[in-house]
Each structure stands twice: as structure tokens, then as C-alpha cells.
Amino acid sequence: MKPFRQYSGIAAPLMRDNVDTDAIIPSREMKQVAKTGLADGMFADWRYLYKGTRRCGPNPAFILNQPGFEDSSILLAGNNFGCGSSREHAVWALAEYGMRAIIAPGFGSIFFNNCIHNGILPIVLERAVVDRLAEQVRSAPTKNRIQIDLETQQVLTPDGTCHDFTIAPLARAMLLQGISAIDMTLQHREAIAQFKAADSKRRSWAYL
Amino acid sequence: MSASLFDKIWDAHLIRQFDDGSSLLYLDRVFFHERTGSIALASIHEDGHQVANPAHVFATMDHILDTFPGRDDHTQIPNGQQFILTTRKQAHLAGVTLFDINDPRQGISHVVSPEQGIALPGCTLVCPDSHTCTLGGLGTLAWGIGSSDCEHALATETLRVKKPRQMRVVFDGTPAAGVSAKDMILHLISRYGTSGGSGYMIEFTGSAIAALPVEARLTLCNMAVEFSAFSGIIAPDDATISYLKDKLYSPKEARWEEAMAYWKTLYTEPAARFDKEITINCRKIHPTVTWGTSPQHAITLHERIPDPAHCTEAEGRAIKRALDYMGLKAGASIRGTPIDAAFIGSCTNSRLSDLRVAASILKGRKVAAGVKAICVPGSSQVKQLAEAEGLDSIFLDAGFEWRESGCSMCFYAGGESFGEGQRVITSTNRNFENRQGKGTRSHLASPAIVAASALSGYITDIAEP
Ligand code: SF4
């Protein structure tokens, strides 16, 4: 996992509310028993044109296909982004495509955690702020880059304003260091073993 | 004492509390399926970890395999077979119990874990699938997780989680005859929106909940995630206890007695305080169906499809978009909308009681001409029990397909879908765009409404002719 400290990139506005994980990666695009090979299917229903069920080229109306937005690595999104199915493929697809951060007024909770596990920084900012950011990047996507500093927990916008965001310390630590949650937990091996020893007496019926 | 049901279960599983507000919780069970779990299992092995306690880990095949009679490892999902083979191989390597194709215990994970006694009241259970909240219907603290958390759960028997805020939803009064658990939950979501429960652990309670049979409680809790809840839960009672008695993995003998004694302590103390409370008057609930592309787009069969002109601008835009996708007109009546297909299945509504309700409506009648009707029992056990009481012939005689169990066309399992522009009345839980096939138009409803609509050829709760 790539550590995340400071980052600056092109941001693409996708301001619809309730974009669910089925839309981020449709089921039929999840072809491998692997975390890779998914970027191509990201937003497939919107990103491509179809003849029947066959793709016939990019959909020019979709934001990531529009001039200036091709190399976006930050998403500006509407409320409740990543709601719906818990499929982590949605995040793998975004990560593989090259998305490093998503800024939205709110996220689906499973999706939010999945982002952190995969090195994508989910940032919650007020709706009005995200709308303003969207406006700024729309006018000049490649020039109006957005800067993110996870160390100071700030988003710096093209017009020079600065927005603080909050993120749970554990999530922040994992992202900054790029380390896995399993290794962090296994440092508490002893405590887990002690808990189980007592619990298997207290609730023996729950143990198989 | 002022502990809620949720507090009690949480505290009993708390290993350690961290300064950042998160807690390390012990997990009693981990369940996974071949679509998301196989990757998690493969990936922990790659990272050099092991499954911490294989005896507490269960897996099933439901999402990738198809539901055609005589099925095998092949499916129309591109590379689907690979998921099935990997799951089998990884489950075997890890020593976890797998309900494989052709195993009589196979089925949709959230149908299997109650019926096999894997999910128990007062236990924690996680599964890399968002509808894991279904199991709250038994009093299990169960929630859906992503694959990374699943890896964590498998490798450590724990998860590090922040305790969610708590909400109580009281379903008060006695609903009218013909009002099902599906109508109750759709009613709640339509009133408070799909983000109404966002981040909350929800306890469903009230006289109408106490009166629900266990399978209906599972239906209700199934859709807690469509309300954006962390999860939902219902206090176990005598109905729960008799439901679980003698299930394959339920505790037996002395342990059963101990378990029962413990389960009787699992209720919310009168002094408990919730962060939010909602009370629903059940007399106000009527048979409900969705018209749009979100579970909150639900109305009763007497209501008209909303008109974007009568809403705020943002709402109007969302409604208009949904109407375009659904091919419906603002202000039109939902009752009488012609359908192309009818689907009974999914972890929401495919248990024996659901099939019985549908069969009682279908008995001796025929599906309307031109309607493709499919019934997919939620598990191989449900299918077998249904066949033992002759329900399969009722469905088949009426013109329904009778399938093997699995997720099927709840989304795309087996690579099957309904097709562009097809309008489906469906007993499932998600009516998102393209959920049941590219361009497919889904209307969520109870099995009774699905059956009545299949016979009539249009959306209705009264079977005609
Ligand atoms: S039946 Fe549908 S909602 Fe339930 S687990 Fe399967 S795909 Fe998910």
C-alpha cells in the first residue's frame, strides 16, 4: 500500500448523490478472483456507450472522458458516495484506475473503510464546499488542481482557500505509513488470547 | 442498569478499548461466499497469515454459481468458474466448512446461517456482504464488511470498530392483514429516506415486531442496510429460541440450557437511552412497492407516482432521473403498471414462509401471458422442504420456473439478467439502476405482491383474473 502524505492532482466532479458501488463497478465487470483487472470496468455503465450489451467506445458525456479530466486522480462526489453493496471491488477499481482521494459530503460506511484499507483517502467536507470545488475544477481542470495534506489534515483549493478535515487517528496512521490493519491488531495477540480463555468459560455455548 | 440490547452484546465481546475511540471486538463467527470471501482468503494466505479459528468460519456458494437445474461449476459469469474453484481450494486449505454446490446445506449465506444455527442470539458474526444485517432478526450482532476487514476477521477473529450511535425504531400497533415485514421496512425507508439510519445501530422493537415470526424478522432486518444503518437487531424471545432449537450448529444439551438462560438476559433495559427514536404507527402501513431506483422510492398501491414538479429542485431532479430510467410517468397510478417478469428469491424473501405465501396465491392459477416468472428458493434446504410439501408443483403449474438456490437474478449471479427495459416485480432488496440487468427496471415488493402481479400481468396486490 502506498503511503499517503501530501498529494496534488486533477479532480473530477461527479456530484450525483447516492452513487452506489454497483455503479462504481457493475457486477459483470468483476471477472477475476483478484484485486486487479478492475479499472477498465470502473463506472462502466456511464463511462462507455453500448450497442445492446456490447461496449462501443467511450461515452463523451461522462466526466472522466472529457478533455482535461482524463488524468483525474481525485473525485469530487455527492452525498452518500459508495453506498450499497459492500463489494470492495469498487475501491480496488478506483485505486487501480489511479484515484488517490475522494472528497464528498458523506460516504457509505463500508466503502469509507475500504478506501482506507486500500490507500485511498476519503475526505468529508460540507456540501457547499464540495460544490464550490466542483465549480472551480470544471472551469480549468488541469490548472485548478487540488492539494491535499494528510499530515495537517487540510485541503487546499485552487482559489487558495484551505479546508480542514477530520479523520480517525487510526485511519490516518494507516494511510500515512501504508501499513496493514492485521499487523496492527496482531500486536494485541496476548489480549485476544486472554479474552478467549475467559469468554469460552463464560459463554461456552458459543464455541464450536 | 441502562444498557441496551446492543450495549450488552458489545460489552460481552469487547477485548480492548483504544484511545482513538475504536474497540477491538471478538467475533464468534465469520461467514463468507465465493465472490468476495475467496479473494480475502487467498489474500491472507499470500500475506503469510492464517485463519485464526477455522471451526468458527463458514462459507457457501451463492453469488457466482447459477441456479439452473443440473448446474455445475460452470457459469455464464466471465471467469465465474475461477471464483468457485478458488473458493473450494482455499476453504479446503484453510480447513473451514464450505457448503458447496450439491451440499444440502448450500444456499444464500444469510438464509443458511440462521437455518443451520450458525448465527445465534448474542453472538457477533461478520460476512463480506452488506446484507449480513439480516441476522439481526435472531438477535445476532451481525454486519457486512469489506474484503480487507474480512481478511482481518479471518486472520485475527477480531475487528477494530468504532461503536456506532444507537437508534430505536418502534413499530407500534397491529398492522392490517396482508401487511408484511417487507411493507413495514419499505414504509420506514420511504418515510425517512435511505440515509435515515446512517451510521446507527438500530434496534427494532414494538408490539408489531414481537408479533412477527422469526423469518419475517430476518426480512425486516435484511433491509436495515438500505436504510444505511450499521446494522439492525431484534431482541431474541421465545419464538427465536424455538426457531433455533435443534439446528445443526445450535448448542446442544447442557450448553443449550446455558445459552437459553443467557439469551433471556438479552433485552434493552427500560432506562436505556437512544441517540434517536422513531415510532411507526403500523395501522398506517399498507402494501407497498417501489416505483423508482432507490428503496426510498416506495409508495403504497393506492398512491400515485410522485411528480417532480411538486418537490424541491434537487428532489425533482432525482425523481425525474428515476422516472426516465423506469419508463414511468409522474402522477400515474403504480397499480396496473404492466410487468414483463416476476421474481421471488433473494436473502430478503425466499424462505419457506415466503414461498408458502406466494404459493397460496398462485395455487390453481396461471401466470399472465408473456410474464417470465421465476422462483429461486433461498437455500437448498428451503427448496427441499418446499418440495416436500408440494410447493414446487404449485409454482410450476402456475408457470413459474423452479430453480436451484442462490442469489440468482437478485443481481447477476450465474451471469443471468432480465434484460434492457424489462420491468420486474421482485421480492429482492435493491432496485438500483442496472441491478438486475443492464437497463432492467426493478420494483421491490413482498412475495404476495409479486405473486399477485405475476398472475395479473401488472402491479397489484389483488390477483386477477
Ligand atoms: S440474494 Fe441478493 S442481496 Fe442477498 S446476498 Fe445475494 S446478491 Fe446480495
pLDDT digits (tens, 9 = 90+) for B353-375: 999 999 999 999 999 999 999 99
Q: Beginning with the edge strand found earlier in the chain, give each strand of the sheet holding B231-233 in spatial order.
A: B231-233, B200-205, B165-172, B276-281
Ligand 1 atom closest to residue B33's alpha carbon, by position in its atom list: 5
Which residues numbered 85-104 in A keep a CB inside 8 Å of some CB on B? 85-89, 91
- How far apart are alpha carbons B31 and B36 in whole angstroms? 11
Contact B209, B172 (CB under 8 A): no
For the record, the C-alpha cell of B106 comes out as 448450500
Contact B259 A34 (CB under 8 A): no
CA distance B334 to chain A (A): 24
Predicted pLDDT at B182: 98
A88-92, A170-174, B186-190 — most confident range: B186-190
Contact B151 A182 (CB under 8 A): yes
Residue A46: pLDDT band by 50, 70, 90 thresholds? very high
For the record, the C-alpha cell of B456 comes out as 395479473
Torsional class of A110: left (φ above 0), alpha (ψ -120 to 50), beta (otherwise)? alpha
- How far apart are alpha carbons B68 and A144 in whole angstroms? 53
For the record, the C-alpha cell of B122 comes out as 448474542
Q: Is A29 on the interface with B (CB under 8 A)?
A: no
Nearest CA owner, ligand 1 atom 4? B347
For the record, the C-alpha cell of A127 comes out as 456540501
Chain A positions in Cβ-Cβ contact with residue B195 (cut-off 8 Å): 79-80, 83, 106
Positions of chain B with pLDDT lower than 50, given as ranges: none
**Residues with beta carbon inside 6 Å of ligand 1?**
B 62-63, 108, 110, 129, 131, 346-347, 407, 410-411, 428-429
Angle between helices B352-362 and B380-388 (to 10 degrees): 40
Angle between helices B214-222 and B181-192 (to 10 degrees): 30
Question: Taking residues A115-135, what's their average pLDDT?
Answer: 94
- How far apart are alpha carbons B351 and B110 in whole angstroms? 10
Residue A170: pLDDT band by 50, 70, 90 thresholds? confident
Low-confidence winner among A1-5, A156-160, B388-392 (lowest mean pLDDT): A1-5
Nearest CA owner, ligand 1 atom 2? B410
Q: What is the ipTM of this complex?
A: 0.93
- Adjacent-strand bridge partners of B401: B374
CA distances from A4 to A60, A153, B181, B353 (A): 32, 11, 45, 51
Q: How many beta-carbon pairs under 8 angstroms link A with B?
A: 172
Ligand 1 centroid, distance to B159 Cα (angstroms): 23
Closest by CA position to B430, among listed B440, B420, B421, B422: B440
CA distance B340 to chain A (A): 18
Nearest CA owner, ligand 1 atom 7? B407
Residue-averaged pLDDT of chain A: 92
The pTM of this model reads 0.86
- Adjacent-strand bridge partners of B29: B125
